[in-house]
Chains A and B, each alone.
Chain A
């Protein structure tokens, strides 16, 4: 009996280790194995499983820094490039950087679950959107390393630093910005009788008029937005006035938000004019642009990689500052959508190494910033990098336009707002309100009132 008991216990222990093992290696199949950044992938996974956090790492054995990010063509690729650069410039550090590619939703779900569950299975560095920064810092205080003294934050864009700071402490290394541009098909605009000149510093009303002509003369709809999430346009328009879902103190600001009201009005006008193409998903949006069923889109620099997929459209695209809201004096031809930052987990066994890695590549190395701007369209937040030649480069896909220069020009104009952390919740409320508005069930004022009530309830206020 005794022997059987021990056998049972061993079996149970085995089963448990297998279960926890699964938790760790669950990421493995999703890892993209680009050899450049991921030195010795097989050893990575092997060492990950044998490396108990308590066991002291032996000298000479490379430590692994695990990073979670979500876009193979963008931030994952950028972090792999950073890992490669770090390996070259700091060979003495002797670390492997393991960049795990998940979907953005999975990053949040896994992070949220792991933090709420006590901290098992967390990465060492994680990418988070600035929109959700406040939510994680508030909900899980003490989980992210305080980086205030680790970087010279005066060298980074102040609105980016503000977005990742709380109570005077800064918790992340600012990564990309979402300097917003209007990307459009010049050939279609010209067919409708307009020129590149006509697309500069527009108001949304003028944009809609041009759009009507384009749709009428070419049969192509003017602008694309995702049907069940029209908030990219809403957010771009809102921040162009320096307003947001929340005010400076973090209070909900929807019902009486002039910019939101105006943006609802504009989007509704687009729909009624028949110039708005409602794509079913992010893939559908990229598809519509690539196969020429839509003539323009408003988005951040990182979005260009989706537009570039259509090689036959090379030279046909142009970028311009986004239109402004004519009815509001505060509205300017510049805005920001999205943008994210790198966080180090406080309880990571390789916290110091992770911080050293971020310092080693992301501070001071302007060549690195040039590379990621050129290859991934990643517009960093490191101010010294803006003086380099990469911003003078001409982009063939955009007919020789100085695309990076445009972003560099837009960025200083962007009005900082307090994102408030609960943007996912606000986006859902706004999406619901817009859907009801589109179905004609409510007026704009009613829609905004509903959205405010939904958000207030959601946040327990």
Chain B
């Protein structure tokens, strides 16, 4: 009791007062909508009124070819883009951390810079770059690789590739920062010990550096997975989900269900909760792959 009193009689009350505002807003704008949308997932609107339909919205998903296509696309982005990005980020971080590198500040800034651009702005930029009269087509034609401009965004494979390239540009630097800070927290002694034991650079990287980065690798992997599952701005602005829904993501489909098509907020909420469910499963898998200490 006495120890408690030392912190002041009003300590708890002040504490609560300080977080009350933030917590209230959090309740109002995060918890309440989340609960409400869960309820919405079991309802369907007809003639302006919501009626309880049980699991109908969830059953509908499995017969919805467009939803399954969007799920497939999203996983495709995840399986291809996330590993490439994390690998690239790791390599860049190790390079940036190297003792021999000059102008570190300059390189760090340039690599991080894409992260401060707005999602919509950079998406539109990529759309312009890969458009018919865009810079990519012009360069390829100047170099004689292409004779006629190529419709990158009208070919399902290339449209997906453009989305992945855009995301790599935008998000790699973000992950580099995480790895860089983690690298700097690795005790120098471990490297010295490796050197004494006669390990070469590759051995040091794979046996010393990466194992010690494991928690951060896990963190970035989970964050990137979540980010990819919520991918929206890029596909919305670069391809509008086309051609033939080949770049449509789940989030984009949720948007279409709510705002483009006849408003179907019940079904859209159900899909949202499906995404939540998938994220939890993926996180569990990643935790178990990363091992207990992760």
A→B interface (CB under 8 Å): 1, 4, 8, 11-12, 105, 108-109, 112-113, 115-116, 135, 138-143, 227-228, 278, 280, 284, 421-422, 424-425, 428, 431-433, 435-436, 439, 450, 453-454, 457-460
By the criterion CB–CB under 8 Å, are B65 and A454 in contact? yes
Which 6 pairs of residues, A with B, have the shortest CB-CB distance?
Answer: A435-B244, A228-B242, A435-B243, A109-B259, A432-B244, A135-B262
Q: Is B187 an interface residue (CB 8 A)?
A: no
Instruction: Please count how many residues in chain B sit with their CB below 8 Å of the partner chain's CB atoms.
Output: 36
By the criterion CB–CB under 8 Å, are A11 and B21 in contact? yes
Name which residue of chain B comes closest to A109, CB basis: B259
Chain B residues 245-279 with CB under 8 Å of chain A are 245-246, 256, 258-263, 265
Contacts of A460 in B (CB 8 A): 44, 60
Q: Is B209 an interface residue (CB 8 A)?
A: no
6 further contact pairs, Cβ within 8 A, besides A439-B244, A457-B60: A112-B263, A139-B262, A141-B48, A227-B151, A278-B154, A280-B132
Distance between Cα atoms of A29 and B127 in the complex (Å): 26
Contacts of A140 in B (CB 8 A): 48
Residue among A11, A428, A453 with most chain B CB within 10 A: A428
By the criterion CB–CB under 8 Å, are A228 and B154 in contact? yes
Residue among A143, A421, A454 with most chain B CB within 10 A: A454
Distance between Cα atoms of A1 and B20 in the complex (Å): 14
Q: Is B131 an interface residue (CB 8 A)?
A: yes
Distance between Cα atoms of A279 and B64 in the complex (Å): 30
Name which residue of chain B comes closest to A288, CB basis: B132
Name which residue of chain A comes closest to B47, CB basis: A141
Contacts of A439 in B (CB 8 A): 155-156, 243-244
Contacts of B243 in A (CB 8 A): 227-228, 435, 439
Q: Is B17 an interface residue (CB 8 A)?
A: yes
Q: Is B219 an interface residue (CB 8 A)?
A: no
A interface footprint on B201-245 (CB within 8 Å = 1, 0 otherwise): 000000000000000000000000000000000000001101111
Contacts of A108 in B (CB 8 A): 259-260
Contacts of A112 in B (CB 8 A): 258-259, 263
CB-CB under 8 A for A457 and B47, given A8-B20, A108-B260, A435-B242:
no
Distance between Cα atoms of A350 and B192 in the complex (Å): 79
Residue among B44, B63, B243 with most chain A CB within 10 A: B243
- Mind listing 5 A-B residue pairs with CB under 8 Å? A108-B260, A113-B259, A435-B242, A454-B66, A457-B64
Distance between Cα atoms of A140 and B47 in the complex (Å): 6
Name which residue of chain B comes closest to A441, CB basis: B244
Contacts of A135 in B (CB 8 A): 262
Q: Is B176 an interface residue (CB 8 A)?
A: no
Name which residue of chain B comes closest to A1, CB basis: B13
Contacts of A453 in B (CB 8 A): 65
Q: Is B119 an interface residue (CB 8 A)?
A: no
By the criterion CB–CB under 8 Å, are B262 and A422 in contact? yes
Distance between Cα atoms of A105 and B65 in the complex (Å): 24
By the criterion CB–CB under 8 Å, are B244 and A280 in contact? no
A interface footprint on B1-25 (CB within 8 Å = 1, 0 otherwise): 0000000000001000100110010
Name which residue of chain B comes closest to A437, CB basis: B244
Distance between Cα atoms of A102 and B113 in the complex (Å): 32
Name which residue of chain A comes closest to B64, CB basis: A457
Q: Is B153 an interface residue (CB 8 A)?
A: yes
Name which residue of chain A comes closest to B265, CB basis: A116
> Nearest Cβ distance between residue B195 and chain A, in whole angstroms?
56
By the criterion CB–CB under 8 Å, are B21 and A436 in contact? no
> Nearest Cβ distance between residue A177 and chain B, in whole angstroms?
25
By the criterion CB–CB under 8 Å, are B263 and A280 in contact? no
Q: Is B136 an interface residue (CB 8 A)?
A: no
Contacts of B245 in A (CB 8 A): 432
Chain B residues 135-163 with CB under 8 Å of chain A are 151, 153-156
Residue among B66, B239, B244, B260 with most chain A CB within 10 A: B244
CB-CB under 8 A for A280 and B151, given A12-B21, A113-B259, A457-B65:
yes
Contacts of A115 in B (CB 8 A): 263
Contacts of B65 in A (CB 8 A): 450, 453-454, 457
> Nearest Cβ distance between residue A429 and chain B, in whole angstroms?
9
By the criterion CB–CB under 8 Å, are B21 and A138 in contact? no
Q: Is B45 an interface residue (CB 8 A)?
A: yes
> Nearest Cβ distance between residue A306 and chain B, in whole angstroms?
18
By the criterion CB–CB under 8 Å, are B261 and A458 in contact? yes
Chain B residues 17-35 with CB under 8 Å of chain A are 17, 20-21, 24
Distance between Cα atoms of A421 and B262 in the complex (Å): 9
Contacts of B259 in A (CB 8 A): 108-109, 112-113
Contacts of A141 in B (CB 8 A): 47-48
Contacts of B154 in A (CB 8 A): 227-228, 278, 280, 435
Distance between Cα atoms of A345 and B268 in the complex (Å): 26
The answer, among A278, A425, A454, for a CB contact under 8 Å with B262, is: A425
Distance between Cα atoms of A459 and B261 in the complex (Å): 9
> Nearest Cβ distance between residue A433 and chain B, in whole angstroms?
8
Contacts of B20 in A (CB 8 A): 8
By the criterion CB–CB under 8 Å, are B261 and A436 in contact? no
Contacts of B265 in A (CB 8 A): 116
A interface footprint on B74-113 (CB within 8 Å = 1, 0 otherwise): 0000000000000000000000000000000000000000
Distance between Cα atoms of A42 and B13 in the complex (Å): 46
By the criterion CB–CB under 8 Å, are B244 and A436 in contact? yes
Distance between Cα atoms of A12 and B21 in the complex (Å): 8
Chain B residues 37-73 with CB under 8 Å of chain A are 44-45, 47-48, 60, 63-66
Contacts of A421 in B (CB 8 A): 262
Name which residue of chain A comes closest to B25, CB basis: A15
> Nearest Cβ distance between residue A254 and chain B, in whole angstroms?
14
Contacts of A228 in B (CB 8 A): 153-154, 239-240, 242-243
Residue among A142, A228, A421 with most chain B CB within 10 A: A228
Residue among A116, A278, A450 with most chain B CB within 10 A: A116
